[in-house]
Amino acid sequence: MRYFDYAATTPMSTGAIEAFENTAKKYFGNANSLHDYGAEADQLLSQCKYHLSQIIGGKPENIYFTNGGTEANILGIKQLLSKRTGKHIMISMAEHNSIQQLCHTLELDGYEISYLPFNENAQIDVEQLESMIRQDTTVISVQHINGEIGAIQPIEEVAQICRKHDVGLHVDCVQSFGKMEISHVIEQADSLSVSSHKIYGPKGIGFLYMKDIDQHSFEYLLLKGNTMDLPSIASFTVAAHEATERMQEESVRMKELREIFLQELKPIKQSLTVYEARSHHQMASVIGMGIHGVEGQWVMLECNRQGFAISTGSACDVKYNQIPNTLKALSVRPEKAKAFFRVSFGKETTVQDVEDLARFLINMTFNYKKAINVSVEGG
């Protein structure tokens, strides 16, 4: 079985596994305890925060560990809301399901949500964003990199608008952390979310980077009052270090794999739609596409049957059998959206892998079209 779903999750690296095991054995003390075991654990915790802050270009005291990207998204946005009086929130239509669900809940509390579509470049239109800001706009939330098609959003421009209108900015960096530089986002955002399992670290750990937090808030109590999962934090830190070390090399390799894959698919180019941004606004490792007239779910099952693990979108949407939020943001017709599937590359993906997947998709498409034509002629 060959894995092409790295945008959903990644296998833990050997270094991350070793760090988890060693920390669990040696640093089992509670970092809040005052004895030596607790002091050693607390020291390791501080070291992890320091190393992560160096990676992102931030401050260790602004890092708050969470149980993943979803919790970081929710607590970050709720913390920003607690410091402002407005009742208007703006998010892109393609935001992660955790933010979409949070906004549905906030509507019950009297908040009004405005949803920003994508333009033809798979980005939010910053002029439209600014025109929709109101006196009571309090928070804007934008994904740095879209997890379904890999489009990179114009965070700097959004941040400038937020500062101009005194609006809080939350940025979901779950898909970008460890794959591209995010220090410029750290400088711009008021809160920022990151997850470990996208970069070959353990599941169930991430962090919220919060520039200014109310230490009397419920969110602060949740973030500071719990017993830290130190093995996961240490493992996450090692995975982040490893990902950063190979970031430039992997970025070049992912671009090469993307070019090879799309080149190989040229025989079915007329039957294929690739959803992407312009090259300098595109994460190369994520490819969202659809074969005309063929349901993405069927493509995924056929690929799985032949030993290729792909996806029909974000794992958090797939389980609800929903049309991907990104295609809604792009105003893709529901019938066409059903053809969507996603291929994403990672550190174990080889040229041979992408060539084999491309060949299978070509043969599958030709066979499917042939079967449809036979069925039509026979009918």
What is the enclosing helix (H) or strand (E) of 292? none
The pLDDT of residue 218: 56
* Strand partners for 112: 88
What is the enclosing helix (H) or strand (E) of 106? helix 97-108
Q: Do 253 and 237 belong together in one domain?
A: no
pLDDT band of 189, cuts 50, 70, 90? very high
The pLDDT of residue 279: 81
Name the residue type at position 96: H
pTM for this prediction: 0.92
Residue 376 lies in a domain: no
Where among 220, 245, 270 does a domain terminate?
Answer: 245
Residue 371 lies in a domain: no
The pLDDT of residue 320: 52
Name the residue type at position 198: K
Give the HSE-up count for residue 69: Cα atoms under 13 Å, Cβ half-sphere.
Answer: 26
CA distances from 321 to 9, 46, 175, 238, 324 (A): 19, 41, 22, 35, 9
Q: What percent of the chain has pLDDT over 90?
A: 85
* pLDDT tens-digit series, residues 14-24: 999 999 999 99
Name the residue type at position 213: I
Residue 97 lies in a domain: yes
The pLDDT of residue 375: 47
pLDDT band of 370, cuts 50, 70, 90? confident
Count: domains in the chain = 2
Task: Please give the average per-residue pLDDT across 56-75, as a whole number.
Answer: 94
Residue 206 lies in a domain: yes
Residue 349 lies in a domain: yes
CB-based contact 50:60 (threshold 8 Å): yes
Task: Please give the average per-residue pLDDT across 159-187, as a whole number.
Answer: 96
Where among 222, 245, 268 does a domain terminate?
Answer: 245
Q: Do 103 and 93 belong together in one domain?
A: yes
Q: Do 108 and 212 belong together in one domain?
A: yes
CATH number of the domain that residue 338 is part of: 3.90.1150.10
Q: Do 235 and 300 belong together in one domain?
A: no
The first and second tokens of residue 337, run together, are 């959206």
The pLDDT of residue 162: 97
Q: Do 263 and 216 belong together in one domain?
A: no
Task: Please give the average per-residue pLDDT across 294-315, as a whole number.
Answer: 91
Whether residue 363 is predicted with pLDDT greater than 80 in this model: the reply is yes
The pLDDT of residue 223: 65
* pLDDT tens-digit series, residues 196-239: 999 999 999 999 999 887 666 656 666 666 788 999 999 999 99
Q: Do 121 and 261 belong together in one domain?
A: no
SS3 call for 213: coil
pLDDT band of 323, cuts 50, 70, 90? confident
The pLDDT of residue 88: 98
Residue 50 lies in a domain: yes
Q: What percent of the chain has pLDDT over 70?
A: 92
Where among 245, 262, 297 does a domain terminate?
Answer: 245
The pLDDT of residue 376: 39
Whether residue 181 is predicted with pLDDT greater than 60 in this model: the reply is yes
Q: Do 280 and 232 belong together in one domain?
A: no
The first and second tokens of residue 334, run together, are 């529901």
Q: CA 21, CA 15: separation in Å to the nearest integer?
A: 10
Share the mean pLDDT of the chain: 92
Cα distance from N-terminal residue to C-terminal residue, the chain: 37
The pLDDT of residue 65: 94
E strand spans, the chain: 2-3, 63-66, 88-92, 112-116, 137-143, 168-172, 191-195, 206-210, 272-275, 286-291, 308-309, 340-344
Q: CA 326, CA 274: separation in Å to the nearest integer?
A: 13
The pLDDT of residue 219: 62
Listing DSSP states for 323-356 in one string gives PPHHHHHTT--HHHHTTEEEEE--TT--HHHHHH
Q: Which sequence positions are flagged as catalytic?
A: 316
Give the HSE-up count for residue 58: Cα atoms under 13 Å, Cβ half-sphere.
Answer: 27
Residue 372 lies in a domain: no
CATH number of the domain that residue 21 is part of: 3.40.640.10
Residue 379 lies in a domain: no
Tell me the torsion sign for CA atoms 69, 226, 44, 188: positive
Q: Do 252 and 201 belong together in one domain?
A: no
Q: Do 140 and 281 belong together in one domain?
A: no
Q: Do 227 and 257 belong together in one domain?
A: no
* pLDDT tens-digit series, residues 114-157: 999 999 999 999 999 999 999 999 999 999 999 999 999 999 99
CA distances from 12 to 1, 48, 114, 187, 348 (A): 17, 18, 38, 29, 12
Q: Do 212 and 341 belong together in one domain?
A: no
Whether residue 257 is predicted with pLDDT greater than 50 in this model: the reply is yes
Q: CA 39, CA 45: separation in Å to the nearest integer?
A: 10
Whether residue 321 is predicted with pLDDT greater than 60 in this model: the reply is no
DSSP3 helix / strand / coil % (the chain, rounded to 5): 50, 15, 35
Structural domain range at position 312? 2-8+247-365
Q: Do 210 and 288 belong together in one domain?
A: no
